[in-house]
Amino acid sequence: MNVKAVITDWGGVLTSPLREATDVWLAAERIDADGYRTVMRAWLRAYDGQDSNPIHGLEDGTLDPAEFERLLAAELRTVDGGPVPAEGLIARMFEAFHPVEEMYDALRAVRAAGTRTALLSNSWGNEYPRHLFDGLFDTVVISCEVGMRKPDERIFRHTVELMGLPAAECVFIDDIEYNVEAARAVGMRAVHHTGTGTTLEELRGLGLRI
């Protein structure tokens, strides 16, 4: 069956990797990196589970971003043992994100060739560069705006329904393997994004014109 739609994640796919951005932030604010990663490992351990945690709440919109910032800042310390300011924490974490132009160009190419495109992103209360989305996507689905988050199968079904296509005619791109597996479970083709070159090669292998 031909691929008729490309659905992509944002952070880590259309942007530089999250690890790179957070490393810049940690260094700039002299935050204890080991302490930060210990907190993230604990919160992310249940990423695909049903138990509530701050990341789940942030992504599905049930936890206010300012409260998430307060909770995370309370767990962090600078390398000197000092506090980390909570206000604006999320914006500072994502400040070093930059767009991956090659991925944007690929989406423009497939859309120009007649393939539909969509964005499906788990929000962390961050600002999206929506000016870059103009004319690029047929549908934009942001987790906190729809009250669902990846890897919940409902958000994948919601997105393909908005596209008006069966799941089998859609390919999904994400840098988190849990989300890739979830997309496959609902019948979508899926690409685990580990780098721009390999992702574009996989898309071409599916017959997409890039």
Looking at residue 60, its pLDDT comes to: 95
Determine how many CB atoms are found less than 10 A away from the CB of residue 80.
Answer: 7
The whole-number pLDDT of residue 47 equals 64
Q: What is the pLDDT of residues 88-123, one digit of tens each?
A: 999 999 999 999 999 999 999 999 999 999 999 999
Please say whether the beta carbons of 179 and 163 come within 8 A.
no
Look at residue 168 in the predicted model and tell me its pLDDT.
97
126 and 42 fall within a common domain: no
What residues form DSSP beta bridges with 172? Answer: 7, 190
Within a domain: 210: no
Residue 173 CA, chain-centre distance (Å), reads 10
Instruction: Mark whether 164 and 201 lie in a shared domain.
Output: yes
Using 70 as the pLDDT threshold, list the residues of the chain that sit under it.
Answer: 1, 46-52
Residue 76 to residue 202: CA distance in whole angstroms: 39
User: Is 201 within a domain?
Assistant: yes
If asked whether residues 184 and 135 sit together in one domain, one would say yes
197 and 166 share one domain: yes
* Domains held by the chain: number: 2
Say yes or no: 130 and 200 in one domain.
yes
Give 97-100 contacts, CB < 8 A, sequence gap 24+: 97/11, 97/15, 97/16, 97/18, 97/21, 98/15, 98/16, 99/14, 99/15, 99/129, 99/132, 100/13, 100/14, 100/15, 100/16, 100/196
103 lies in the same domain as 80: no
Residues 83 and 111 in one domain: no
The reported pLDDT for the residue numbered 48 is 61
- Say which CATH number the domain at 132 has: 3.40.50.1000
- Select from 109, 116, 97 the least CA-distant residue to 14: 97
> Of the residues 93, 108, 138, which one is the last residue of a structural domain?
93
Omega before 151 cis (within 30°)? yes
